[in-house]
Amino acid sequence: MLRPPLRLPCPPRRAASTGPGPGRRLLLSTPIFYANGPPHIGHLYSALLADALHRHRGLRGAGPGRLSTGTDEHGLKIQQAAAAAGTSPPELCERVSGLFRQALTRAAVSFTDFVRTSEPRHRRAVCHFWGVLRDGGALYKGRYEGWYCTPEECFLPESQLAERRDAQGRPCKVSLETGHQVHWTKEENYMFRLSAFRGPLRDWLRDNPQAIAPEPFYRRVLRWLEEEDLPDLSVSRERSRLPWGIPVPNDPTQTIYVWVDALVNYLSVVGYPEGHGQWWPAACHVVGKDILKFHAVYWPALLMAAGLAPPERILVHSHWTVRGQKMSKSLGNVVDPAASMEHYTVDGFRYFLLRQGVPERDCDYYEEKVVKLLNAELADALGGLLNRSTAPSINPSNTYPSFSQACFPKLLDHREANGPGRACAEDYELVASVASLPLEVAAYFEGFQIYKALERVALCVRQSNGFFQRHKPWKLDRADPGEQRWLDTILHVTLECLRVYGTLLQPVTPHAAHRLLSRLAVGPEERGLSALTFLPRYHGDPCPFEGRQLGPDTGLLFPRLEMPGRPRVDPRELRSPTNGRCK
Ligand code: MSP
């Protein structure tokens, strides 16, 4: 085996535009999805996490941003899937890529770029990248043999294999992690000198403790680098066995390994090899835990070998199981995102996955849980509060009511709440809780804990319902000016809370948030997160909404849902005690 000396390029430099502060660029990415079968909720979850982060960033005015996604179309897996479907790989990819594009669009994933690895721009980027690796001495040709797992598209060491019997009862080996059968493969391949990168990878991670989140995944990668073998990586396959892929430049007998091909999508999307300097390495990859090693070990090593810096961050999530079981076609329990969005609405399904999905651990999906959560938090608590506080019986002028400081005086210490006003200690707690909400939500988004942000919003919504219920504004006598002032103040505080919730929910439930904010007469330019204030009148500042005519759409914010399989009731007919309008 001839190993040329590896010339490690000079230390990767950060792009000038990527430092902290306003105007900072960021490329957020989803993984590119294998074009061998239709999308399922696991795929959608990866994409929704990235989308919520991208939308949140946009609303903060954080600087130019892109959200890339796409389809991973080469490799043995796709070649075999096409053969099994009796079609050609290009035809299969064309169809499945279309399904992904459609599903992501339907799910309101606001991607700015969609990469297909079969596109010429991507092929050009991969070939250039390969040339840089080769010229830098990072590749050499060698005989490689090992156990190949086609569904995972990688070689696995003995330590990751288990003995099983195949369908015919013959002994075979399978991947410990996924249970997929592996096959002994012996070929002449190009090898990438991954082993040379153990030190540089460790240094990169030690210097960048935020590079991989959540923290348990960061520690896992460090452990791999400290305790496990890091053999060189086979980065091509014999073309005679794998014609469906990008040929190795200047060696048409070999096809570039599908993972090298796929990872380069993050560069081809920003114009590599020409225009990428504007964006790279200001990149943040959202990935599932099954593809962590490819993104946190192979990809940074390949980038370093090509003279580029590793991505800024890798955000990792765990998996969805269905009623405690792994999702699989053979078990027939694959959750179809299209049917789910049809039943629970796009916003409902987005809310469920992002509210219940905890990146650190696997989450279980079952329908009762979806229905219960959405009815409780979106239909009853949030939608109910909007209906009750804007009902004609309680707000006949249909305006954003005014706030009375006499009724709700500003207090330095909430324990003095039984002073001259009508607000009680719990009301002051509500004000403090909602006032701190935008910053807390921002911190949770930054820390990749969107579920915690949503939990915190849901808690505030419950507190606001408590406020409304406690003061029973519908019982106040509007003929009495003092009562009228207090009634208006209760409504003003409630609408202010709702305005904050609507603004903060935009990255997660964009349609419902739009309806909510439109009903509250919040203009499109007033929906950003950077200037979000809550209850300025409490501090003696003017409130631009006070006295405004409310928006005309009085429809339900979110319909109460039935369990799937039960007859669906027209949402307009649905009136629960809290969801229905006040009489
Ligand atoms: N093509 C590769 C990625 C290449 S990126 C340079 C791939 N594709 S995939 O279609 O198999 O997976 C795409 C994403 O879906 C991954 O983030 C993966 O973790 C995620 N999920 C697949 N099944 C999942 C669940 N059951 N639950 C949550 N996400 C899971 O890997």
Per-residue model confidence (pLDDT) at position 13? 42
> CB of 262 closer than 6 A to ligand 1?
yes
Give mean pLDDT in consecutive 10-residue pieces for the chain, a chain of 583 residues. Answer: 52 41 84 96 97 97 96 96 96 98 98 98 98 98 90 88 90 90 91 98 97 98 95 95 96 97 98 96 97 98 98 97 84 89 96 97 94 98 97 95 95 65 94 97 97 98 98 95 96 98 98 98 96 96 97 94 64 38 27
Q: Give the span between the Cα atoms of 139 and 161, in whole angstroms.
A: 27
- For 9, half-sphere exposure in the C-beta direction (CA atoms, 13 angstrom radius) is 17
User: Which atom belonging to ligand 1 lies closest to the Cα atom of 320?
Assistant: 27
Distance 32 CA to ligand 1 centre (A): 8
Q: Give the span between the Cα atoms of 66 and 59, in whole angstroms.
A: 13
Q: Give the span between the Cα atoms of 196 and 230, in whole angstroms.
A: 9
Longest dimension (CA), the chain: 94
Rg (CA), the chain: 28
Per-residue model confidence (pLDDT) at position 328? 75
Per-residue model confidence (pLDDT) at position 416? 60
> CB of 291 closer than 6 A to ligand 1?
yes
User: Which atom belonging to ligand 1 lies closest to the Cα atom of 266?
Assistant: 6
In 245-277, which positions are buried (b, 16+ CB within 10 angstroms) versus exposed (e)?
Answer: bbbbeeeeebbbbbbbbbbbbbbbbbebbeebb
Per-residue model confidence (pLDDT) at position 327? 85
> CB of 42 closer than 6 A to ligand 1?
yes
Per-residue model confidence (pLDDT) at position 436? 97
Distance 43 CA to ligand 1 centre (A): 6
Q: Give the span between the Cα atoms of 6 and 57, in whole angstroms.
A: 40
Per-residue model confidence (pLDDT) at position 299? 98
Residue closest via CA to ligand 1's atom 24 equals: 42
Distance 321 CA to ligand 1 centre (A): 13
> CB of 33 closer than 6 A to ligand 1?
yes
Per-residue model confidence (pLDDT) at position 566? 55
Per-residue model confidence (pLDDT) at position 531? 86
Per-residue model confidence (pLDDT) at position 9? 52
Distance 144 CA to ligand 1 centre (A): 27
In 289-313, which positions are buried (b, 16+ CB within 10 angstroms) versus exposed (e)?
Answer: bebbbbbbbbbbbbbbbbbbbbbbb
Tokens representing residue 215 in the block: 């923290």
Question: Other C-beta atoms within 10 Å of 369: how many?
Answer: 14
Distance 48 CA to ligand 1 centre (A): 13
Q: Return the SS3 of 191.
A: strand
